[in-house]
Amino acid sequence: MKDRKRVEEEIKRLKKQKNAVILAHNYQLPEVQDIADFTGDSLSLSREAAKTQADMIIFCGVHFMAETASIISPDKKVLIPDEKAGCSLADTINAEQLEDWKKENPNAVVVSYVNTTAEVKALSDYCCTSANAVQIINSIPEGKEILFLPDMFLGAYAAKVTGRKIDIWPGECHVHAGIRKQDLDEMQESHPEAEMIIHPECGCTTNLMYQVENGACTENGNGNGNVKFLSTGGMIKHVKESVSKEFIIATETGMLYPLRKANPDKKFHPARENAVCKYMKMITLPKVLQSLEEEIYEVKVPLETALKAKRSIERMLEVTS
């Protein structure tokens, strides 16, 4: 294998030559985050995809995120360096299953979490993220039936906060369903001075949103509430400004890399060491290079599906803007 420096140089040269941009999710390997033009969560990367003047986007994340970039920017060539980088949560429901569910509930409004395939988004009325699920549900007239998919923790959380009756698809992120209340309690006990920060992106933390809503972690060792839900940008800003010197980060462990990089004087502990998304880690520097060289693997959503899926994303933006 070529050494890392040479691989990085070739990536930079090809990127310039092909007018490409590299977008990397926060859960990517550190060396992939370092070579990227932009890093962030899936929504912020989609916004970058929409803004960029590049002809080609190398999307270092999982497949449904690259699809979303393609839906938003259909004129750009979107490549994912490993086509097997999927998402166990998105895989819990396909278009056929959703069609059957809709047939059983013909009058229901369908709300889909962003971790879904383009085909599932195309069959949905609204797309949502963990940050705006409650707002989307509240915008639906009282008395309307609601189908929520695929994340059962986010669905249960939204039902509890809004007090609405919601039919919920029983999907979860199997990679991180392992972060449980016990982990949070143990971490708070061993680091009583630390702030607990939960990043509400991906199914790995929606179960924590649900648990906190149900009473977990509202007290820390000091007897005060010390749990915050923050987006990537909010997390980096908050950590920088906070007087705290220690933080427990409850999300995929990749998020600790940009935090440590930006705050070398502060300490960060993962809520659970093995909270690692194996799909995110499939993307490596040699694969990024190969993707640029051979222009593989292209992620292209058929036009009809893309237009319908885009509508569900736009409806979400109309409610939340």
Q: Which stretch binds ligand SF4 (CB under 6 A): 4-12, 142-150, 199-207, 294-302?
A: 199-207
Residue for token digits 């932009």? 38
Q: Which stretch binds ligand SF4 (CB under 6 A): 10-18, 201-209, 228-236, 237-245?
A: 201-209
Shortest separation between residue 91's beta carbon and ligand SF4, angstroms = 8
For ligand SF4, the closer CB: 88 or 129: 88
Shortest spacing between CB 178 and ligand SF4, in angstroms? 11
Paired residues of 80 in beta bridges: none
Q: What are phi and psi of 108, to 5 degrees?
A: -80, 150
Q: Per CB under 6 A, which of residues 137..166 are in contact with ligand SF4?
A: none
Q: Among the candidate windows 47-55, 168-176, 187-195, 282-290, which touches ligand SF4 by CB under 6 A?
A: 168-176
Applying CB under 6 A, does 203 fall inside the site for ligand SF4?
Answer: yes
> Shortest gap between Cβ of 176 and ligand SF4 (angstroms)?
5
Of residues 18 and 281, the one with the C-beta less far from ligand SF4: 281
Q: Considering only residues 278 through 317, tell me which ones interact with ligand SF4, judged by CB under 6 A.
A: 279-280
Q: Does 129 bind ligand SF4 (CB under 6 A)?
A: no
Q: How far apart are CA 176 and CA 37, in angstroms?
A: 28
Residue 278: CB minimum distance to ligand SF4, A: 8
Q: CB 231 → ligand SF4: shortest distance, Å?
A: 15
Q: Is the dihedral of CA 288, 150, 181, 205 positive or negative?
A: positive
Tell me how crowded residue 30 is: count the other CB atoms within 10 A of its CB: 12
According to DSSP, the residues that pair with 79 across neighbouring strands are: 58, 298
Q: Which stretch binds ligand SF4 (CB under 6 A): 86-94, 106-114, 116-124, 191-199?
A: 86-94
| Binder of ligand SF4 out of 23, 54, 58, 62 (CB under 6 A) | 62
Residue 87 interacting with ligand SF4 (CB under 6 A): yes
- Sequence-separated (6 or more) residues with CB below 8 Å from residue 24: 32, 33, 35, 36, 38, 39, 45, 60, 61
- Shortest distance, CB of residue 23 to ligand SF4, whole angstroms? 15
Q: CA-to-CA distance for 12 and 6, rounded, in angstroms?
A: 10
Gyration radius of the chain's alpha carbons = 20
The first and second tokens of residue 159, run together, are: 């039902």
Q: Contact with ligand SF4 (CB under 6 A): which of 45, 60, 204, 217? A: 204
- For ligand SF4, the binding residues in 261-280 under the rule CB under 6 A are 277, 279-280
Contact residue for ligand SF4 among 202, 217, 239, 282 (CB under 6 A): 202
175 binds ligand SF4 (CB under 6 A): yes
List residues binding ligand SF4 (CB under 6 A): 62, 87-89, 115, 173, 175-176, 202-204, 252, 277, 279-280
